[in-house]
Structure 1
Amino acid sequence: MKQSQNNKSNSKSAFKHKSTSIYQLHHRPHLRADAAWVLFQILEHGKSSREVMPKVFDRHEGKDNAWLQEMVFGCLRELPKLQYWLRQLLSKPLKGEQKIVEHLIMLGFYQLVFTRTSEHAAVSETVEACAALDQHRLKGLVNANLRSFQREALSEQEINVPHIQVGLPKWLHKQLLQHYPEQVHDIAEQINARPPLWLRVNALKGSSINYSSQLDAQGIEFEAAETDEIPLSFLKVKTENAIKLIKRTDITMLPGFAEGLFSVQDLAAQLAAELLDVQPNDDVLDCCAAPGGKTAHILESQPLLGSLDAIDNDGQRLERIDENMQRLGHDIEFGDRLNLYVVDAESEEALTRVLKDKQYDRILLDAPCSATGVIRRHPDIRWLRKATDIDTTVALQKRILAQIWQRVKPGGILLYATCSILKQENEYQIAEFLATQADASLLPMHENDTAECPGLQILPGQAQMDGFYYARLLKSC
């Protein structure tokens, strides 16, 4: 597996820049104070949970970290209700450094309504967190708001605001009403649900039958497909290596993690390698490849491929592909046939500098997107995305698709994928591309897959999968 020195230096500089941009914790360790700090960073400073959660995890252990994640993710799922209740009780918004106390109060609401935490602990421990946050003077305010919340039974009062009722930002609720008017409530319910944990057995190191026996031996409950197929609306795709765990667990403690016997990958993402259908000796490009789950699956599904080049514009994320390939053993198994490059996929100059004039039999374009299909897995996404972001993302997808299409060999296939459920990023994007690109045609995946309504849209929760979109494009000879 090759990775240029230039790419490695880019990766280090990216890491240095990112690490210095994260706000540091200055207060003493305290579970509720730390949870409020994470919410404050996400909602007030636009940080992602993946940036800030590790900061608080380093201060606690085991069950405490599980509690922290449950509280933070729970508050993010129920945020519209929590904010609505806060506005009913707080006479005026807090400002500056005191703003974090608003998030602490909402954390108290969440404990009182959505958890089994005793009322006494939910109130007293949340009030005590003020001291940990150096907000001693606001302890009375926090106590008064939580007591009023209980006394007035606000959680039992009906909220007649549609987007608050379903727990979504107003802009996203409006989008779903436009695209899926009959399914909005079902989609919102799935978005707010706890996602299942899917594994994909590494086919180069064993079978799902053998790995299932290891799970059985350790008393780990799971479900596996009883047949070799998972039915979708009009499509059947092989998923014989997919296993769903019944209970969430520490992945690193599962049998065979260090040995690379499996990867964590949602079932919807596992469809990519099957739909790409790589043949022996094919040259493959995996575009926007990090963190490498689909890269690994492509290799495992067709070990006789000619080559696989994986590209991403983020050096730090590319290092994650490298780490995954090493754990799975693919770096040794595929050697020089597997190459990782840091490159901007929308830049013709950058692509030419790295890939020269190489074209590919199969290309997976896992395009940058709003990630609205995986909100249930990353609840902060719904609050980090803004309505204005969508047009920018659609324009970026269009530029990347135009550049990467030039890399498809005549007769080759490009599989376009997103983890979005918005039609602008998916169906409309591909329909426009087909209408304007003379050498592109649709390679249908099901009977309703047409140039006017192209692709396969998976909605959150369908067959227990994340929201995902696929479209296959064939280049004329």
Structure 2
Amino acid sequence: MRSDASASPRRPATDRPPQLPPLPPDSLARALWVAAEAVAQVREGYALNDGLASLWSAHPDLPPATRGAAQDLIFGTLRDYGRGDAMLARLLRQPLTEPTIDALLRVALHRLEVRPDTAHTVVDQAVEVAARVARGGLKGLVNAVLRNALRQRDTLASALTRSPEAHWRHPVWWIERLKRNAPHDWETALAASNMHPPMTLRINPRRSAPEAVIAGLVEKGYAGRPLGPHGWRLDHPVPVATLPGYAEGLLSVQDWGAQQAAPLLDVAPGMRVLDACAAPGGKAAHLLELTDCQLTAIDADPRRVLRIEKNLERLGLVADVRCGDAREPRFWWDGLPFDRILADVPCSASGVTRRHPDIKWLRRADDIGNFATVQREILDALWPLLAPGGKMLYVTCSVFPEENSLQIARFAGSHADCRRAPLGSALERTLLPDADHDGFFFALLEKQA
């Protein structure tokens, strides 16, 4: 898959529509246009985060409300995996070859589903976009398709329930794999993965008592409920910069599932600890908030290393932050063993699709095996760095056993000095997505002395 978000399909100069007055920056048409550009990029194989960065740069005049509306349309359309395909298959005689118009129709159809009360405006504004970005008869096509969608609303709704991809909003291979591996919970997990994600805060006990921070949040209208000793799940997501105490390092935003990693590693004061895939630094910061340890945090991407440093600086925490590949310790390790290692390895990210809905579009079934290979290489490279009697916590945000339980069973079976330490009453912990947290997997490995 391509990752160069700066590249985008270009239409030949002779094929461009006539130049018309620009769309007003505060209009629904502008939001639809921006959203269509982002969706088209994802369908071309670009990661959404990279695409959004270039998109906002290309539209610097967007007021906050339009930018927010565009982002809602982007995430909503991408969460609707399979629905656009099913509807367009019934509304078009043949697939569109114009990426932006195809994406515009998907965005507009999503908006018609979630806001049927604005149907007339959506159709009008989508046609307005088509007049500016499409050639020839595509403006009329957009108008006809959307009006047919309104006329056939009941028929389309019935057809969507018969398509597994459209109903569950995930690829068929993903649905079938999850159904096999979690026969009692797959429906709940898929439904949760299509929700808007919760916003959960992690309070920094080194800066203030959790009770005092929570009281301050509630007093200023940031209602919620506690999750664990340092978590606070907001009733309604808000821009992070508006949170009282955020700039001062009193709190961070971290999913409740991710917050469970640091306590499971069982770190004591003074221990040498490695966070081997640390960016953007949430789990590294949590370790330092809980325990006065000697933390080394590495990541292979120099840009993401900067994010670790900035996050630690805001929270008033100190670590030895380095750029390095966890599979190549000879380039960054000082030769002294670690008492604890956090191996939050690269994975399919199949447990966090509601935060990153482009994953459903970009992942393929054979990607899982590729991730498993990288994970195996990381585990094999890090194990010699762990001191006898030390512990390694293996973490993924995947829901697939090939990256989780099967990976750990293989590793433990091939290392005689590896003992699987219990996590509560079990040898591993699997969190499928639900209302409170994303999907995660944890396994604790102890090195025999």
- Matching of residue 250 in structure 1 with residue 210 in structure 2: no
Moved over 3 A (4+): 18-29, 54-59, 134-137
- CA distance in 2 between counterparts of 1:412 and 1:59 reads 54
- CA distance in 2 between counterparts of 1:181 and 1:162 reads 16
- CA distance in 2 between counterparts of 1:315 and 1:82 reads 37
- CA distance in 1 between counterparts of 2:205 and 2:131 reads 53
- CA distance in 2 between counterparts of 1:19 and 1:147 reads 36
| Counterpart position of 1:106 | 106
| Counterpart position of 2:123 | 123
Correspondent of 1:323 among 305, 310, 314: 310
The Cα shift of 1:19 comes to 7.9
Correspondent of 1:195 among 183, 194, 197: 197
Unaligned 5+ runs, structure 1? 1-17, 226-238, 450-454
- CA distance in 1 between counterparts of 2:84 and 2:298 reads 41
| Counterpart position of 1:345 | 326
| Counterpart position of 1:158 | 159
Is 1:373–1:468's contact at 8 Å kept on the other side of the alignment? yes
- Matching of residue 272 in structure 1 with residue 261 in structure 2: yes
| Counterpart position of 1:229 | none
Is 2:5–2:46's contact at 8 Å kept on the other side of the alignment? no
What does residue range 9-24 of structure 1 map to in structure 2 within 5 Å?
21-23=6-8
- CA distance in 2 between counterparts of 1:172 and 1:49 reads 20
Evaluate the alpha carbon distance shift between residue 249 and residue 34 of structure 1 in structure 2; reply closer, same or farther with a 3 A threshold.
Answer: same
> In the alignment, residue 388 of structure 1 is paired with which amino acid?
D
| Counterpart position of 1:241 | 230
> In the alignment, residue 144 of structure 1 is paired with which amino acid?
A
The Cα shift of 1:447 comes to 2.3
| Counterpart position of 2:433 | 460
The Cα shift of 1:25 comes to 10
SS of 1:355's equivalent in the other structure is coil
- CA distance in 2 between counterparts of 1:158 and 1:405 reads 52
- CA distance in 2 between counterparts of 1:448 and 1:325 reads 33
- CA distance in 2 between counterparts of 1:64 and 1:135 reads 25
The Cα shift of 1:23 comes to 4.1
The Cα shift of 1:59 comes to 4.0
The Cα shift of 1:162 comes to 2.3
- CA distance in 1 between counterparts of 2:9 and 2:150 reads 34
Length-normalised TM-score, structure 2? 0.91
- Matching of residue 355 in structure 1 with residue 333 in structure 2: yes
- Matching of residue 310 in structure 1 with residue 282 in structure 2: no
SS of 1:374's equivalent in the other structure is coil
SS of 1:244's equivalent in the other structure is strand
- CA distance in 2 between counterparts of 1:20 and 1:373 reads 24
The Cα shift of 1:272 comes to 0.9
- CA distance in 2 between counterparts of 1:115 and 1:374 reads 26
Correspondent of 1:396 among 371, 374, 394: 374
> In the alignment, residue 349 of structure 2 is paired with which amino acid?
A
CA offsets, 1:189-210, max 9 Å, x none? 1111111100001111002211
| Counterpart position of 2:16 | none
- Relative CO higher for 1 or 2, CA cutoff 8 Å, sep ≥ 6? 1
> In the alignment, residue 346 of structure 1 is paired with which amino acid?
R
Is 1:130–1:136's contact at 8 Å kept on the other side of the alignment? no
| Counterpart position of 1:180 | 182
What is the root-mean-square deviation of aligned Cα atoms in Å? 1.9
| Counterpart position of 1:32 | 32
Unaligned 5+ runs, structure 2? 12-21
CA offsets, 1:375-405, max 9 Å, x none? 1111111111111111110011001100001
Evaluate the alpha carbon distance shift between residue 69 and residue 269 of structure 1 in structure 2; reply closer, same or farther with a 3 A threshold.
Answer: same
